[in-house]
Amino acid sequence: MIKVTHVAPGSIADELGLQPGTELLSVNGRELDDFLDWQFLTADEEFTLHIRQPDGQEIEYEIERPLTEPLGVAVEPARIRRCANRCDFCFVDGLPEGLRDVLYIRDDDYRLSFQYGNFATLTNLKLADEARIIEYRLSPLYVSVHATDPVIRRWLLRNPTAPDILMRAMARP
Ligand code: SF4
């Protein structure tokens, strides 16, 4: 489920009655987890959208629109995936005290890599993430490799469970 944060006046979403706080539950029967699902599953001229309004009413829409016409919905940002590594040279550890709290977040999120160009190590991927990267063809992703030798890489990342990055790269299309 993803919540709507903004609806553009006069847009398709506005005409449907979506509003800030509307919960986007599924598209074509597939549950929505974050903005990536929303972007990719609605990138079609026709789809079924299941929502829940703030008053609890659930509605299913059959949407038809030309791809040139945006839906006019902004959705809540994803909860940032945190880094599972403890590099000795972590740039976050090198920051001075007293900065904004968000600057101390050790993010390691392939979704932000696709969306904004952040670097990610891919050490915290679940099988579902790998499947989604392949299905959505998320490219480019900006990967912090550190080293291709798995032993050296785990040592640099201070993460004994870091996967072999070359095997991971070969698994991608
Ligand atoms: S991968 Fe990046 S954020 Fe994570 S510990 Fe290493 S330098 Fe810090």
Q: 121 CB under 6 A from ligand 1? A: yes
What is the Cα Rg of the chain in Å? 19
Residue-wise pLDDT tens digits, 148-172: 999 999 999 999 999 998 887 666 5
- Count of positions (residues) in the chain: 173
Provide the residue type at 65 as one letter: R
Q: List, in sequence order, every residue forming a beta bridge with 62; answer none if it has no partner.
A: 48
Which residue has the least CA distance to atom 2 on ligand 1? 90
Residue-wise pLDDT tens digits, 29-83: 999 999 999 999 999 999 999 999 999 999 999 999 999 999 999 999 989 999 9
Name the pTM for this structure.
0.86
Residues whose CB is less than 8 angstroms from the CB of residue 58 and which lie 6 or more positions away in sequence, other chains included: 25, 50, 51, 52
Say how far apart CA 43 and CA 70 lie, in whole Å: 10
Which residue has the least CA distance to atom 3 on ligand 1? 106
What is the Å distance from ligand 1's center to 32 Cα? 29
Handedness of CA 111, 117, 118, 119 (dihedral sign): positive
Q: 91 CB under 6 A from ligand 1? A: yes
Q: 108 CB under 6 A from ligand 1? A: yes
Q: List, in sequence order, every residue forming a beta bridge with 47; answer none if it has no partner.
A: 63
Q: 106 CB under 6 A from ligand 1? A: yes
**Structure token pair of residue 107:** 């993010």
Give pLDDT, residue 170: 65
Of 108, 112, 145, 161, the one to substitute when testing ligand 1's pocket (max ligand atoms within 8 A of C-beta) is: 108
